[in-house]
Amino acid sequence: MVGRFLLIVLTLGLCTFVVRPEMFEAVFQPFTQNDAPAIYTQTSLLRLTLSHLALVACAVLASTIIAVALGILVTREFGREFLPLARTIASVGQTIPPVAVLALSVPMMGFGAAPTLLALFLYGLLPIFENTVTGLTNLPPNVIEAARGVGLIRRQRLWSVELPLAFPMILAGIRLSTVISLATATIGSTIAAPTLGEVIIAGLLTSNSAYVLQGGLVVGLIAIIIYEVFSSLEHSAARRLGFQMDA
């Protein structure tokens, strides 16, 4: 109950800051030098936050669709031989640094959001894929046998039994992918993608620690909020299934 209250307070504080950042000018003024502005005003902080979240949401959604589909494929009898290949594909984003993906994709896709989306999509595949495979390969054998016993065909077992049982584990992978993508998306501003990285970069270029702190603080608070929301959903789904999850 206390944790939920703190999460609500944190969310309200974050929303207030991105909508009316000038209210917090006194908080950030000590981090400036030579009478530099304490609040970033070149672009609306709310606009950058919404754009940042939209990029992450689109990338994670695409990663989830592909990673879950691959996870289902390699846990079926006909697809088990493709597990090494699928794992290699899912690992590409973790193997190649996002900065390298941006550098390679800009000549083909141009500057802006598209290369950033590609980098986030690739970077988010592995956690979701691995959790999907783990969730689908560690199901209670007695439940699967019971599903076979009542006459459910393979497709029915997948949608009615296996995926619901693996759902908390898949959610954990999506949570991890989202939190990683939130932080990684900031580099998109180096190629003109509208993200909160713009505030951080502006701070670094002008030696204004207040800007750097603002951009990092917003990204960090969003990551905490999303992490807690996903964790709550995972525990709720696990309780409905009768599982016990670690805090």
pLDDT at 68: 96
State the average pLDDT over residues 154-163. Answer: 88
- Residue 74, pLDDT > 90, answer yes
What is the 3-class SS of the chain, one letter each residue?
CHHHHHHHHHHHHHHHHHHCHHHHHHHHHHHCCCCCCCCCCCCCHHHHHHHHHHHHHHHHHHHHHHHHHHHHHHCCHHHHHHHHHHHHHHHHHHHCCHHHHHHHHHHHHCCCHHHHHHHHHHHHHHHHHHHHHHHHHCCCHHHHHHHHHCCCCHHHHHHHHHHHHHHHHHHHHHHHHHHHHHHHHHHHHHHCCCCCHHHHHHHHHHCCHHHHHHHHHHHHHHHHHHHHHHHHHHHHHHHHHCCCCCC
pLDDT at 155: 85
**Percent of the chain residues topping a pLDDT of 70:** 96
Report the CATH number of the 45-241 domain: 1.10.3720.10
pLDDT, mean over the chain: 90
Please give the residue that has the higher pLDDT: either 97 or 164. Answer: 164
Residue spans of the domains in the chain: they are: 45-241
pLDDT at 201: 95
Give pTM, 2 decimals: 0.90
Please give the residue that has the higher pLDDT: either 112 or 245. Answer: 112
pLDDT at 2: 55
